[in-house]
Amino acid sequence: MTDTAIAWDTYSRQRPERRPTNAAGETTWFNWTAYPDHGPGAELLETPAGGRVLDLGCGKGGNVAHLATLGMRAVGVDVSPQQLVAARERWGWTPGLQLHQADAISFLREDREGFAAVYSVYGAVWFTDPARLLPAIRERLRPGGRLVFSQRPPVEGCYGCQASYIPRGADEDPLIVKRWDYEPDAWERLLKEHGFTDVSADVLAAPPGNRKTGTLIVRARA
């Protein structure tokens, strides 16, 4: 296994399952943010039932399973076997859902069918160098297809490649993965440079409460 997969397996063991139901009593739902019952939903993908969509870094699979229940051909890719064990246990029965263990760029390079939408929720788009990933996504999106991703906004002054620490035991060093942070206008520039159109990047404010960190949501079209 690669160091990246080992790091994300470690992360996976520390993360709880998604709740059985959301505040509206639904058993599946889409969430772009780190807050429960907050923000927009699957409508950002602008993809009708039957459309093929790709989740890059699907984790335990809650979002991609929801899209399958809406009738989309929903493909989830994650580098962590442990995340996919959890995803298959909970959602493996869902018609229209496919889950693959792979690195995001390798999967995009090998796929031959293309996608109506590619998205990522605090997922592989955050943890992959955009100079390598954006061309691979652009290549697989059908004309007019949507790229949408969300992640934590950058800390002021900390831009480009940053270290993210995944804690282990008290007497072990944390594992480290890389992530890429940019201000909204820098994301807009990057996406345009890679041939995307209809680009927007905005920070959605946190819901009322003690936590103030919003959610960066970036949207573009092929």
Ligand X SMILES: C[S@@+](CC[C@H](N)C(=O)[O-])C[C@H]1O[C@@H](n2cnc3c(N)ncnc32)[C@H](O)[C@@H]1O
Binding residues for ligand X, per CB under 6 A?
A: 8, 57-59, 77-80, 83, 103-104, 121-124, 127-128
| CB of 17 closer than 8 Å to CB of 86 | yes
Instruction: Give the span between the Cα atoms of 112 and 185, in whole angstroms.
Output: 32
Instruction: Give the span between the Cα atoms of 63 and 78, in whole angstroms.
Output: 13
Query: What count of residues does the chain have?
Result: 222
Instruction: Give the span between the Cα atoms of 128 and 180, in whole angstroms.
Output: 7
Pair of tokens at residue 152: 């934590």
Measured from the CB atom, the residue of 121 and 222 that comes closer to ligand X is: 121
Minimum distance, C-beta of residue 197 to ligand X, in the bound complex (Å): 25
Instruction: Give the span between the Cα atoms of 197 and 1, in whole angstroms.
Output: 37
Measured from the CB atom, the residue of 129 and 193 that comes closer to ligand X is: 129
Measured from the CB atom, the residue of 168 and 192 that comes closer to ligand X is: 168
Measured from the CB atom, the residue of 124 and 190 that comes closer to ligand X is: 124
Minimum distance, C-beta of residue 26 to ligand X, in the bound complex (Å): 17
Minimum distance, C-beta of residue 8 to ligand X, in the bound complex (Å): 3
Measured from the CB atom, the residue of 91 and 127 that comes closer to ligand X is: 127
Minimum distance, C-beta of residue 66 to ligand X, in the bound complex (Å): 12
Instruction: Give the span between the Cα atoms of 196 and 188, in whole angstroms.
Output: 9
Minimum distance, C-beta of residue 122 to ligand X, in the bound complex (Å): 4
Helix (H, G, I), strand (E, B) or coil at 70: coil
